[in-house]
Amino acid sequence: MTTEVFIRELCQKAGIPFAGVFERGRKEGWLDAEDEVYKDTPITRKNVARICHMYLLKAMKASDLDISGAGMLKDLYDCRVCANHVAQVYLRGIMDAKNIRRDGEFWWFDLNGEDDDAYNSAAIDRLLLIHVGDHVHQDMSGS
């Protein structure tokens, strides 16, 4: 799924116009310039996390959760600019992580990975189902 298609689907499901969203979303603080410049490239998991988290903050007026519960994600701190985005969507159950070790636990968010269309669509659904004020939404870590 490209970034543009992701944003288009988010707009459609949220009931907001897609036309002009790149400029409007940036002014509202939930989109970045790169979303428009690279709108035709496949969206990475860290960018899905960023857009979902910032939409949650800026459009849905949610408050951040304490991110200490996401400390088990081994790649969380690989990304200074997206660590909070990743932690917030993980803790709210919008996106999951995978245990990539067979003989123990090594939880991996996979920042630069890409999900299929169905997963990204479901992430948007989960985002829009959040009621502001909810705390840890659901634990998807076993998926």
Partner 1 sequence: MSGPSPIDDHRLRFDDFDNSDIFSKKPRLPAMGWNSWNAFGSGNTEELTKAMVLKIKELGLDKLGYEYVVLDDGCYHPERIDGHLKADKVKFPSGFKAMADFVHGSGLKFGMYNDIGTRLCSGAEVGIYGYEKTDCEDYFKWDIDFIKVDNCYYMWDNATFADPENAKYSYAPVIKSIGIDGVTYDAANAAITGTRAEIKEDCVAFIGTFDGTAPDHSPVGLRSSEIIFEINASEDGIRDLFVTYASDAVEGAGQWLQVAVGEKTCFDALLAPTQSRETFTVSPAIKVELKKGANKIRIMNHRRQENTLHSYAEIRRELENAGGRDIVFSICEWGKTQPQNWGHKVGDSWRILNDITFQVGSDGNHGTAAWECDYTTSITSQYNKAVIMDEFAGLGRGWNDPDMLVIGMDGIDNIMCRSHMAMWCMMNSPLMLGVDLRRVAKGDEIYNIIANEDLIALDRDPLGIQAKRIFTTYECSEPDKEYIRDNNRIDILAKPLNDGSIALGFFNLSQEEKEVPSVSTDEILNKTGGKTVNKDLFANAKTYRIKDLYTGEAAETESRVFGAGTLAACDSKVIRITPVS
| Interface positions with partner 1 (CB under 8 A) | 23, 26-27, 29, 32-34, 37-38, 54, 57-58, 63-64, 66-68, 71, 76-81, 83-84, 87
- Could you tell me which of 109, 136, 95 has the C-alpha nearest to residue 6? 95
Nearest distance from C-beta of residue 73 to partner 1, angstroms: 12
How many other C-beta atoms are found inside a 10 Å radius of the C-beta of residue 29? Answer: 12
Of the pair 19, 33, the CB lying nearest partner 1 is at 33
Q: Give least dist CB 79 to partner 1, A.
A: 7
Structure-token pair, residue 100: 């990539």
> Cβ of residue 123: shortest distance to partner 1, in angstroms?
19
According to DSSP H, which parts of 29-108 are helical? 33-37, 45-58, 83-91
